[in-house]
Chain A
Amino acid sequence: MYYLEVVILVVSFIGFLALGVPIAYSIGLSSLFTMLVSILPIPAFTTIAQRMANGLDSFALLAIPFFILAGQLMNRGGIASRLIEFAKVIVGRLPGGLAFVNILACMLFGAISGSAVAAASAIGGFMNPRMVKEGYDRSFAAAVNIASSTTGMIIPPSNILIVYSLAAGGVGVSIGALFLAGYIPGILVGLSLMVVAGFVSYKKRYPTAGKTGFVEALKILLDAIPSLFLLVVVIGGIVAGIFTATEASAVAVVYTLLLSMIYREIKAKDIPGILLDTVGTTSIVMILIATSIGMSWVMSYENIPQTVSEALLSLSDNKIVILIIINLILLFVGMFMDMTPAVLIFTPIFLPVVMRLGMDPVHFGIIMVLNLCVGICTPPVGSVLFVGCSVAKISIDKVIKPLLPLFVAMIVTLLIVSFVPELSLWLPRLFGF
């Protein structure tokens, strides 16, 4: 058995994290130490270096920087504000209208940009001051923004689903199928958050955002159509097989660039700054991916997935029990790990287990991402939580309390999606995947 390797991997990883070593390097170092148990130093260094470099040499991963860039362009290009106005026309008249507007706008923006962090900063930046001005608690406004930003990870296009399809590797999970599978669960999360937000708003008597006249509503709708059309191009193009996810993301970059230049919100001189911001975000994600691929390789070399899989199946061979255990482990992992490394490291471990129990890999991908969405909103490591708090200018401990009922809504949705596979699989099947 390989218990020694598992212990070294887990203990050294937690140790490095606790010391404050950046997560990407903690992953790399603990993989290195684990490898040194069974491989000589110089070959071990070389192998990890090679895994890191070849892991990044991937056309599929290229979609990530492009969707990040498209998100940055949308953020500054006046697309966020148009989507917010659009959301206001649809849900603004409900009690607690702005909370609903915040959620719907996050769903739309997150969907279009494929990134929860982008949604949290773009929509939060606009919505938080407005909500505070209308008498909402700052902490509630931030919590709603943070939780609903995660829907963008599930509603396509989504970077993390591309990473999952890569991590699933040999099983062959199509990105198109994953994207289609994300729609219903993503919308369900949004709706469940709206239920909680509506209940809180009703209790605290938050105001409606007011009705919009018909002519104005029509004008706002027409204004939002070019932004929404991007979704049709990207998803339609991928599902119809016209282009790959990476090509679609490049098209998204060109489209948003043209749109924001037409809106005159971005000038040529702003572009280097936007590119540099994109490079920064991209490199943080990419080095995490590189070292995670290294760790995932070390684990399969040390037979860790088989060890874990046997241990899990010896506990029970009941699908429901195993799924609950996996969900609990992932919820815990999500607290300490960012989503991308978690998907890259745990997919090879858990996917064989659930597939042996007859689960569809597309369905499992949605469960995994939905689950880790809770993790990116929880301390101590939660990228969306950090960004959401910093744009709302509020400290993290104040947001936790209003976040709790929203977490409950997300976890209930997670359970429903886990145990009703049709919610994920119906749409992809409809389109023949």
Chain B
Amino acid sequence: MRRIIDSILEKLLISILTLMVINVVLQVFARFAGISIPFTEELAGFLLMWTGLLGAGYATGKGMHLAIDIFPRKATPENQVKFNWIINGFVILFAFLVMVVGGFRLVYIALSLDQLSPVMQIPKGYVYLVLPFSGIMIVYYSILNIIEGPSQPHETGDTIAEKLN
């Protein structure tokens, strides 16, 4: 399950990044050719929003987020389990309250106010859907991190360097 979701998320993120590059390169070339493509800047901003938030979910799954792990690392194995619970619990708290609850409400408000993006005329509510979606991903991965236990600490350089020695 985890692997399937990882791989879907990876493919999605790679596609968005590729699309971002093509989009801006297109904008540059079009300008030199004297053509103006009206939507590139707006699309670029939306794509960045999507990469950043979806990527946050992906990074949670991979334990890539930067953290200061001085205390958790020095704790006894039993306490490490507790730290793992607390840390992931707080991440879930934020992702659920702000990204899922706040995000869905934002989607709802934007749709009910009929907010459209200025150039492409896309309902902004659909663009904001990435918030609750990423929030759910983060909650999902954090629950997995709790179940699987603190075996994979956050890979800061400190722990990497220690492993190498």
Q: A residues bordering B, Cβ < 8 Å?
A: 16-25, 28-29, 32, 41-42, 44-50, 52-53, 56-59, 61-62, 65-66, 69, 243, 246-247, 250-251, 253-254, 272, 275-276, 278-280, 282-284, 286-290, 336, 338, 379-381, 383, 385-390, 393-396
Contacts of B161 in A (CB 8 A): 386, 389-390, 393-396
Contacts of A61 in B (CB 8 A): 48
Interface contact B14-A282, CB-CB below 8 Å: no
Contacts of B44 in A (CB 8 A): 59, 62, 246
Interface contact A286-B91, CB-CB below 8 Å: no
Please measure, in the bound complex, the distance between the C-alpha atom of A19 and the C-alpha atom of B45, giving whole angstroms.
34
User: Contacting B51 at CB < 8 Å: which of A246, A286, A379, A380?
Assistant: A286
Contacts of A246 in B (CB 8 A): 24, 44
Please measure, in the bound complex, the distance between the C-alpha atom of A17 and the C-alpha atom of B52, giving whole angstroms.
22
CB distance from A236 to the nearest CB of B (A): 14
CB distance from B65 to the nearest CB of A (A): 4
Q: Which residue of A lies closest to B12 (CB)?
A: A279
User: Contacting B53 at CB < 8 Å: which of A69, A280, A290, A380?
Assistant: A290
Please measure, in the bound complex, the distance between the C-alpha atom of A18 and the C-alpha atom of B68, giving whole angstroms.
7
Please measure, in the bound complex, the distance between the C-alpha atom of A52 and the C-alpha atom of B52, giving whole angstroms.
10
Contacts of A289 in B (CB 8 A): 52
CB distance from B114 to the nearest CB of A (A): 17
Interface contact B90-A279, CB-CB below 8 Å: no
Interface contact B157-A385, CB-CB below 8 Å: yes
Contacts of B90 in A (CB 8 A): 16, 19, 21, 25, 29
Question: In the complex, given contacts A53-B106, A381-B66, A394-B165, what are 18 additional A-B residue pairs having Cβ atoms less than 8 angstroms apart?
Answer: A17-B68, A19-B87, A21-B91, A32-B98, A53-B103, A62-B24, A62-B44, A66-B24, A247-B27, A251-B28, A272-B14, A279-B55, A280-B62, A287-B55, A288-B66, A385-B157, A386-B160, A393-B164
Please measure, in the bound complex, the distance between the C-alpha atom of A19 and the C-alpha atom of B165, giving whole angstroms.
26
**B 14-37 binary contact with A (CB < 8 Å = 1; else 0):** 100110110011011001000000
Contacts of B165 in A (CB 8 A): 393-395
User: Contacting A20 at CB < 8 Å: which of B20, B54, B62, B83?
Assistant: B83
Interface contact B157-A381, CB-CB below 8 Å: no
Contacts of A20 in B (CB 8 A): 67-72, 83, 87, 154
Given known pairs A58-B45, A66-B21, A284-B59, the reply for A49 and B131 (CB within 8 Å) is yes
Contacts of B101 in A (CB 8 A): 42, 45
Given known pairs A251-B28, A278-B17, A280-B58, the reply for A42 and B105 (CB within 8 Å) is yes
Please measure, in the bound complex, the distance between the C-alpha atom of A395 and the C-alpha atom of B11, giving whole angstroms.
35
B86 within 8 A of A: yes
Interface contact B154-A286, CB-CB below 8 Å: no
CB distance from A57 to the nearest CB of B (A): 4
Please measure, in the bound complex, the distance between the C-alpha atom of A253 and the C-alpha atom of B17, giving whole angstroms.
12
Interface contact B83-A19, CB-CB below 8 Å: yes
CB distance from A97 to the nearest CB of B (A): 27
Interface contact B58-A279, CB-CB below 8 Å: yes
Contacts of A276 in B (CB 8 A): 10, 13-14
Q: A-B pairs with CB below 8 Å: how many?
A: 227
Q: Tell me the chain B residues, 73-123 only, with Cβ under 8 Å from chain A.
A: 83, 86-87, 90-91, 93-95, 97-99, 101-103, 105-106, 109
B49 within 8 A of A: yes
Please measure, in the bound complex, the distance between the C-alpha atom of A399 and the C-alpha atom of B68, giving whole angstroms.
19
B56 within 8 A of A: yes
Interface contact B52-A287, CB-CB below 8 Å: yes
B148 within 8 A of A: no
Interface contact B98-A45, CB-CB below 8 Å: yes
A-B contact pairs, 24 of them (CB 8 A): A20-B69, A20-B72, A20-B87, A22-B154, A25-B65, A25-B91, A28-B98, A49-B99, A53-B130, A62-B45, A243-B31, A250-B25, A250-B28, A253-B21, A275-B17, A276-B10, A279-B55, A280-B58, A282-B52, A284-B59, A379-B158, A383-B66, A389-B157, A389-B161
User: Contacting B106 at CB < 8 Å: which of A28, A49, A386?
Assistant: A49
Given known pairs A22-B65, A23-B65, the reply for A57 and B49 (CB within 8 Å) is yes
B46 within 8 A of A: yes
Contacts of A290 in B (CB 8 A): 52-53, 56
Please measure, in the bound complex, the distance between the C-alpha atom of A250 and the C-alpha atom of B21, giving whole angstroms.
6
Contacts of B62 in A (CB 8 A): 280
Given known pairs A279-B58, A290-B52, the reply for A386 and B158 (CB within 8 Å) is yes
Q: Which residue of B lies closest to A243 (CB)?
A: B28
Contacts of A21 in B (CB 8 A): 67, 87, 90-91
Contacts of B66 in A (CB 8 A): 22-24, 284, 288, 338, 381, 383
Please measure, in the bound complex, the distance between the C-alpha atom of A389 and the C-alpha atom of B45, giving whole angstroms.
35
CB distance from A13 to the nearest CB of B (A): 12
CB distance from B146 to the nearest CB of A (A): 14
Contacts of B160 in A (CB 8 A): 386, 390
User: Contacting A57 at CB < 8 Å: which of B14, B20, B48, B69?
Assistant: B48
Interface contact B58-A283, CB-CB below 8 Å: yes
Please measure, in the bound complex, the distance between the C-alpha atom of A286 and the C-alpha atom of B127, giving whole angstroms.
17
Contacts of B25 in A (CB 8 A): 250-251, 253-254
Interface contact A283-B54, CB-CB below 8 Å: yes
CB distance from A275 to the nearest CB of B (A): 5
